[in-house]
Structure 1
Amino acid sequence: MAKTVIVVVDGFGVGAMPDAGTLRPGDLAADTCGHVLDHARTALGRPLRLPVLGALGLGLVHPHPDLARRTHLPVAAGRAALGYPGADTFAGHQTMMGADFSRVTVARLADHIDEVTEALTAAGHRAERLDGRPLLVVDGTVLVHDNLEADPGINWNASGRLDDLAFDGPGGILAIARTVRAVAPVARVIAVGGHADGPLPSYVRPGDGETVGLDTPATGFYRNPGLQVRHLGAPLDHTRQLPELAARAGIPVTLAGKAADILVCGPARRHPAVDTADVLAHTLDAVRAGGDALVVANVQETDLAGHQQDTGRYGRLLEQVDAGLAALVALLAGPGDRLIVTGDHGNDPAIGHSHHTREYVPVLIHRPGADGVELLPDADSLADVGATAAVSLGLDPGGLAGGRPLRTGRRAA
């Protein structure tokens, strides 16, 4: 019996990739992990308490003085380049699970606004530009716009106030988003419904790369209760991704947190959740169930703290994640078990803006029964994480659309 658990700490980067400054030159200084640790020293007067992340080898990947350089656990530690354009949760997870993203393009809504308008009109909606700007008001309530929280052209949103319109059902926010998805060339169309502090048009602003969209954090959607979100991804061959590969081999699959919203696997047990305690609880329950298992869990609140530029909250959440990882390490003790802790992009709360940051992410692999500590070479893509997980489950990584298993690195001193 063997279990492989992948815990994705959303927005947890360990330093800028070489091309991080292409869009925003200041992003070459991005370092989510380092800046959160620095803030704790200043604000709390002590290091963050991250003993398990340290034992899993985070200090071997990131040179921060508050991270231990030695570990007693049998781990392999390295870092991965993202392997997809921009810095985006949906693209990150799909890539990590082995997807081929070569047909997905980067485009502003302005580049396709006539096509989107025609599709909405054909579906029976009324769609018009907001004050002549390149975003649409649909049925007088829902805004279709560039997503300003990811890099320009990665995602589009359909956003509405739940006081004005239902999220589900005919003519609802989700139905409008699905119509947009049918003609959108971008990685993700996101349906967002929530309770705002005022009329949505008052929160529209220009973004980077000549985009125009809704300043979603400013609306109060994230702060006020009742937020509903659905991620509609680009058409991909999900049969060549890790969850489907595992399910076809008879391995039970559990998707927890945001992973349950954005990954496709017909037989999977799904536990969508935003609260970090809930995500960790669902993950632990899946491991305790016994037998072979693939569990993919996403801790989303770290990403939200990055968007809110709340470095202190980010640090507190890392400590909470660390405590949850301690319980997972204790449960995953069989020689075939694996715990992989990684990220999907960066989201540096100290960088001076609320966008994701294009950073390397850690790849920390706990390997019960293995001998010693290994330093892994940099992975070219997050797809290599999925391929490595496939091998740990006894699956052929050649069944994935992308990725190569991470090979043995050098021994840590």
Structure 2
Amino acid sequence: MSRVVILVIDGFGVGAMPDAGAPRPGDAAADTLGHLLDDHRAATGRRLQLPVLEALGLGLAHPHPELAPVPSLPVAAGRAALGYPGADTYAGHQTMMGADFSRVTAVRLAGHLDEVATALRASGHHADRLAGRSLLVVDGRALVHDNLEADPGVNWNVSARLEDLSFAEIVSIAQVVRSVAPVARVIAVGGHADAPLESFVRDGDLGTVGLDTPASGFYRNGGLAVRHLGAPLDHTRRLPELAAAADIPVTLVGKAADVLACDAAICCPAVSTAEVLGLTLDAVRQAPDTALVVSNVQETDLAGHQQDASRYAAVLRRTDAVLGALLPLLASPGDRLIITGDHGNDPVIGHAGHTREYVPVLIHRPEATGFDRLPTARTLADVGATAADALGLRAAALGNGTSLLRPVGGSAGAPR
């Protein structure tokens, strides 16, 4: 019997991977957590207080003078490489659930404008370039454009103001784009902007052109609506479907509900951190002795896109506080709380894109004694495989990944 909670803190990197500077040379210095801690110290003169994350071994995942070097709870802690190209939420979550995303196609919309426009017109829409640039205006209200927040060419967006189109209409346009798109994800985005969207179009890296979503006001004006339309997947080899096939209840919370889209799961989409964490607590309280909950705290990622370190710190503190309420609910032998990220999003790096960083892997094991230092995992798929093992599933049935844990009773790490 095991209740497993995977809590993904979106954009929670712990230092640049060796190839982080490939799209943007400055990203070789990316360090979301380290820069966040340094910025908070510089701005306030105090440590950023994250007592539960430190007790769970955050200082093992990222040795930093502001973090306790030794966990005080029974954990296994380390970090993971991403295991997929670029730095992307959709690819990160799919990889974590066992999908093989090592060969994601990354292409600019510019090379497919005619194909996309033809598909939209065949569906009854008007589709034209915006002032001759490499993006489309659909029905005079929606933009089809490169996503400027992930690595260049990984995702395309369909964006519109909710005053101009309903979110269902935005999703309908995105579904047409998805039908011809070779990229990992087409993202439907609706929100409330400070001005017409055309005024926020800008050039991105490597010849991309798109909407500067953070500048538009979508993230700060409330009412943000997002739907992730992913590339075709072998769903039979993902963790949620394997669990559901074994009659294990599955709950997906927050952005995970949109990104993972499992028909057999209870899906609880939400954006605000308070709602996401509240739904996560409710899911665990209501869970039977064996269950899987995957939850995503999105507002850390939004703060990174906005280059707002103080907001990022506030969301992280709020998350840490709720972890203190979550741990007592996962106190039975075999229960697991796995805290990780999907990529980095350094809030002081100087641009609004994701950063290609290692992410923490903190695994609480209430029946263990002491702590283990984990070696660096080669891929986020190892997180899903670890959860599968805890649930009594065959990790080998996943499309990818190897469990990170030895059986309980192995040697614990010694304090440094």
The correspondence of residues 300-339 of structure 1 with structure 2, limited to 5 A, is 300-339=298-337
Partner of 1:246: 243
Q: Choose 298-307 or 365-374, whichever is displaced more.
A: 365-374
Please, which runs of 5 or more residues in structure 1 have no aligned partner? none
The question of 1:106 aligning with 2:106 is answered yes
Contact 2:10/2:341, CA 8 A, preserved across alignment: yes
Deviates more, 1:317-326 or 1:13-22: 317-326
CA distance in 2 between partners of 1:49 and 1:104 (Å): 38
Specify the SS of the correspondent of 1:232. Answer: strand
Deviations 1:111-141 (A, max 9, x none): 1111111111111111111111111111111
Matched, 1:18 2:18: yes
What is residue 340 of structure 2 aligned with on the other side? 342
Alignment of 1:12-411 (within 5 A): 12-102=12-102, 104-168=104-168, 172-291=169-288, 292-408=290-406, 411=412
Q: Deviations over 1:14-53 (max 9, x none)?
A: 0000000011111111110011111111222211111111
Number of equivalences: 410
- Secondary structure, in 3 states, of the residue corresponding to 2:229? strand
CA distance in 1 between partners of 2:201 and 2:261 (Å): 32
Matched residue SS, 1:202: helix
Q: In structure 1, what is the Cα distance between the partners aligned to 2:375 and 2:43?
A: 34
Which residue identity lines up with residue 45 of structure 2 in the other structure? G
Cα contact 1:104–1:234 (8 A) shared by 2: no
% identity of equivalent residues: 71
Cα-to-partner distance string for 1:320-367 (whole Å, 9 max, x where unaligned): 111111111111111110000000000000111111000000000001
User: In structure 2, what residue type is equivalent to 1:106?
Assistant: A
Change in Cα spacing, 1:65 to 1:103, as seen in structure 2 (3 Å) is: closer
Shift, 1:372, TM fit: 2.0
CA distance in 2 between counterparts of 1:53 and 1:220 reads 31
* Aligned residues of 2:84 and 2:104 also touching (Cα < 8 A): no
CA deviation digits over 1:247-271, x for unaligned, max 9?
Answer: 1111111111100111122121111
| Residues 102 and 41 (structure 1), Cα distance of their counterparts in 2 relative to 1, 3 Å cut | closer
Are 1:243 and 1:264, in contact at CA under 8 Å, matched by a contact in 2? Answer: no
CA distance in 2: counterparts of 1:77 and 1:222, whole angstroms: 32
SS of match in other structure, 1:134: coil
Q: Distance in 2 between matches of 1:352 and 1:316?
A: 20
Q: CA deviation at 1:163?
A: 1.7
Deviations 1:256-306 (Å, cap 9, x if unpaired)?
A: 110011112212111111111111111111111141110000000000110
User: Which residue identity does 1:166 align to in structure 2?
Assistant: S
Structure 1 residues 102-111 or 12-21, which shifts more?
A: 102-111
2:357 maps to a residue whose letter is E
CA contact (8 A) 1:375 1:410 kept: no
Distance in 2, Cα, partners of 1:161 & 1:330: 42
Q: Distance in 2 between matches of 1:280 and 1:15?
A: 26
- Counterpart CA distance in 2 for 1:71 and 1:218 is 39
The DSSP-based 3-state class of the residue aligned with 1:128 is strand
What is the distance in 2 between the residues matched to 1:124 and 1:118? Answer: 10
Q: Deviations over 1:359-383 (max 9, x none)?
A: 0000000011113211111111101
The residue identity in structure 1 corresponding to 2:284 is V
How far did 1:103 drift?
5.3
Q: Distance in 2 between matches of 1:12 and 1:352?
A: 17
Superposed CA RMSD in Å reads: 1.2
Q: Is the 8 A contact 1:376 1:410 kept in 2?
A: no
Which residue is 1:9 aligned to?
A: 9
Instruction: Give the whole-Å Cα distance in 2 for the aligned partners of 1:117 and 1:382.
Output: 36
- What letter corresponds to residue 83 of structure 1 in structure 2? G
C-alpha distance in 1 between matches for 2:199 and 2:137: 13
Cα distance in 2, alignment partners of residues 102 and 54 from structure 1: 32
1:283 maps to amino acid = T
Q: Which amino acid aligns with 1:91?
A: A
Tell whether the 8 Å contact from 2:16 to 2:358 is kept in structure 1 after alignment: yes
User: Runs of 5+ in structure 2 lacking a partner?
Assistant: none
Alpha-carbon separation, structure 1, partners of 2:411 and 2:93:
28
CA separation in 2, counterparts of 1:385 and 1:45?
Answer: 36
Normalised by the length of structure 2, the TM-score is 0.96
Deviates most, 90-99 or 368-377: 368-377
**1-side partners of 2:287 and 2:313: how far apart?**
32
Distance (whole Å) between structure 1 residues aligned to residue 79 and residue 335 of structure 2? 21
**8 Å Cα contact 1:238/1:264 also seen in 2:** no
Distance across 2 between alignment mates of 1:215 and 1:346: 19
